[in-house]
A and B are shown apart, each in its own frame.
Chain A
């Protein structure tokens, strides 16, 4: 009865509930990630000429250009330029910007684009037809041709051995001039001083190594004025040997070291002399890395810092360049300190400051003298290695304040302001390959006790329960102590924000490609609870993540696994990888249901071991596109094998989710008759494409017998576009890009097809099996009655999932990831009903069922967007999980960004909304009580008086 009532209730509510703007950031969270920032393309920049506020700009290894607010670490804007380039795999991207210039210019491969620094709007884009952009510089110098506002860009293009230097107009991106270098030198970099543009190329020496060739160009015309060749062939063996090429400086420098790293060679660009400076290595160990930090500003003092890193420590030396004589002299030395350190340069007017962040402290020095201007102890020293940093120094009278954005090896991007960590962006999450919901062991004890009670006699169970409740009394004082606070907080806060006890605050464990494991707390805006390096690898191919109370086990394709404690992040146990590479991992529930067993599946689809589960059948896919069925205890020969027709290739296979409760086994029609659902938990939907004939076939298989239960083929399918599919209950859905040009109908575009399976086309008919309580798939079974309908959708769907609720009473939503609009949409199932009447209005009975007229074009309603207006980019998979509230399903999406929210497909019918005010209710009751207390004696008196008067 209650079920019926709840069903009725759920049906009464409108199927679509939108995310309201006041719920954004309240019920959902979003980690807008950038990836590993590139060390030489990350900088603080003041985009506004009027204000002193600055943003951090970077281009990441994922070719995302972004601006981050240094105050809270929020992403201001972000652009993905990997989509625009022809072959973005070509190396790292470049990003340049100048203070007071409202444009940042980025380049990757053959693509150069300029964005407004304030809001990330595209200024211009320029595609180089000849080759690949090698270097990029913004021209800070003002010349006669410079128009107001935006500065011009100088780019070096490497094109089949020839170098091309281009000057691009800052406002339009059009080529102002071009200089072609046909000498066959390797184009290397571009640089500029206040009067000249330098093109630096590497000229192959006679025997080996490279000579550095500097070609001086006139910034106005691009004509070559002179050139110099530096004798560097003994030291420079590869382009990487050149440590640094300065730009936008009064005296830009080229720095390289000799092979033995005994001395440093410095050349002021445009001059012929090379100054050799001996490296004074007192640390006793070899130098691992030398980095040069120099200001990128024309009016800054020509000072630079060389940072030497050894395995155990680091020191730095500061040098001054004489503007007139182009002599380089050593000024002072920052002492050797063991541990890691990162140095950044910042400029205020003409003064240059260096910030050095070590494991324990942050120090600011001026380039002019070695006096320490500011020193702060780090509040939380990190063991994570600092890779590179950028900083911004603010001078307040004599003292200075500094904020440093430090990127650490394990993907944390931290802002340290005066020694304190202001925020941390976990950029390592961008590589998330697998995720799962953690099970805490808090309720495990209770579940165990209840199980004990379930297995005992009535009397024994009763005694057990009484004892348990008596034991629970020990928590009573604490509970009573908490009570006033709980009541107060429940009155003051609204219900929506206070649902953690209903299983809405779950921990999500994610594993990244780089071998890291993070725990995100969905109850706390997805904050990272812990992050560990589980495996030292750069390509961790996680195949399965299994949770049991308290721990999560992560299986990778090499046969190894890591078990991690979900609350602390400690590695509990580890199984070393075996030799064979695994294609997938099969998960079995052991009979008592308490734990899970796994069997690896090889690439040819055979299980590694026979599995112990007696009545279990296993369905696997092989790498050559077959689907295989296995019975227990035999991992040699499959029971059945599904091979698609020749020419077809299996691309995807899905099954119903493990938790997929069915609230009602039939569908009640308008005349109160029942259409029975075809429910079979062993169904698998296999997608196969034929690239030659452009068809896609969808096969519905019985996982036990291997029988094809239903098959449909779509013509004109573009197999290069994503084909997504999902299954739940008695229906499945898939989407593809199709171009059907048939005689009866033609459609071109993205299509979403939904099919529902019923036992029989007739109402009130359960088919041949009728009311049998069980059945065997090995017998000859009647085929389901399938109703399908196709919808045209506006964009492609890359991944599909279905919302899961506790009992399945709530209507489901089809969760679709839209890669082109970077959003996640939840399409309500009633909209995707194949029984919607076609070409006619619904009859009264159909309308009562909730059916409305079929429209072929299904536009995504704004209310369906679970991601609201957020830009949720690069999502590979969406997870759903039921909560203790039937109305609510938790959603977690990962891939590139991380996004989590709650879905309430039938609205939140079991919680009080925001408009319900407990305070108002309490006040009303109190006011009524007070009114009664005051009026009751008055009325009584009046009545007695009336009696006397009569």
Chain B
């Protein structure tokens, strides 16, 4: 019965060429320059291994790198402040759908940022960086609060904050006289 079993079919051409190393390019072909961005050196696996080796080799350096990245993230909201400020200034104080939408976006960003603060820094969270990240987080929170303040300033400028006497006027009532006079003039 075992004789009856057919030998496995030869692997297809593409499998063979995949497994066999690339043939040496001919002389003429080697003179053609590689297309831009193509690296002729051997695959990424090796390089990754090399990188991992270097990181594992120097942990204090990776921590410093992580802290640097974390600082970048913490400072990032402050870069939006000038842009947002200009946008808010330009959009005017009237109640229109665009200015309302912009103000809503302005509030949405910082609040989402504040809620997702741990997720934002999770990548850089290591036992060694944990204590140092606290300061970074505080700065991040401050930056988001600054953005929020910008939003509040805008809402106030639009007159939406009940900060003036007129906003509470509807809750004030008319003084009633204790006596009532009737007039017979006609």
Contact = CB atoms under 8 A, between A and B. Distances in A.
Interface of A: 1, 3-4, 543-544, 584-588, 599, 601, 613, 615-621, 629, 653-655, 662, 664-666, 668-669, 671-674, 679-682, 684, 702-704, 763-764, 769, 771-778
B180 A615 contact: yes
Contacts of B170: 1, 3-4, 664
Contacts of B159: 672
A665 B166 CA distance: 10
A778 B186 contact: no
Nearest to B166: A668
A602 to B, nearest CB: 11
A621 B174 contact: no
Nearest to A685: B185
A616 B176 CA distance: 14
A681 B177 contact: yes
Contacts of B186: 543-544, 584-585
A655 B185 CA distance: 8
A776 B172 contact: no
B183 interface: yes
Interface string B154-171: 000001000011110110
A629 B181 contact: yes
A931 B99 CA distance: 36
Given A668-B169, A673-B164, A764-B165, A586 B182 contact: yes
Contact of A704 (B167, B174, B179): B179
Contacts of A620: 184-185
26 contacts: A543-B186, A584-B186, A585-B184, A587-B182, A588-B182, A613-B182, A617-B181, A617-B182, A619-B185, A666-B165, A666-B172, A668-B169, A672-B165, A672-B166, A674-B166, A684-B185, A702-B181, A703-B181, A704-B177, A704-B181, A773-B173, A773-B176, A774-B177, A775-B176, A776-B178, A777-B177
Contacts of A671: 164
B27 interface: no
Nearest to A601: B184
Contact of A665 (B173, B179, B181): B173
Nearest to B162: A672
Nearest to B174: A665
Contacts of B177: 680-682, 704, 774-777
B175 interface: yes
Given A613-B182, A619-B182, A619-B183, 18 more contacts: A1-B170, A584-B184, A588-B182, A601-B184, A615-B180, A617-B180, A618-B181, A619-B185, A621-B184, A629-B181, A655-B183, A664-B169, A672-B159, A673-B164, A684-B181, A704-B181, A773-B176, A776-B179
B183 A773 contact: no
Chain B contact-residue range equals 20 to 34
B180 A673 contact: no
Lowest 8 CB-CB distances: which A-B pairs, in order?
A: A703-B181, A586-B184, A672-B164, A668-B166, A682-B181, A655-B183, A617-B181, A584-B184
B174 to A, nearest CB: 5
A777 B180 CA distance: 9
Given A584-B185, A620-B184, A778-B179, A771 B166 contact: no
Contacts of B166: 666, 668-669, 672-674
A681 B180 CA distance: 8
A773 B175 contact: yes
A617 B179 contact: yes
B70 to A, nearest CB: 44
Contacts of A681: 177, 180-181
Contacts of A3: 170
B138 to A, nearest CB: 36
A616 B182 CA distance: 7
A721 B159 CA distance: 49
B184 A619 contact: yes
Contacts of A771: 172
Given A665-B169, A668-B166, A672-B167, A621 B185 contact: yes
Contacts of B180: 615-617, 681-682, 704
B186 to A, nearest CB: 5
Given A666-B169, A672-B166, A774 B184 contact: no
A621 B186 CA distance: 9
Contacts of A777: 177-179
Contacts of A4: 170
Given A672-B166, A672-B167, A674-B169, A775 B175 contact: yes
Nearest to A706: B181
Contacts of A666: 165-166, 169, 172
B165 A674 contact: yes
Contacts of A776: 177-179
A774 B174 CA distance: 8
A916 B175 CA distance: 43
A815 B173 CA distance: 29
Contacts of A772: 175
Given A679-B175, A773-B173, A774-B175, A673 B165 contact: yes
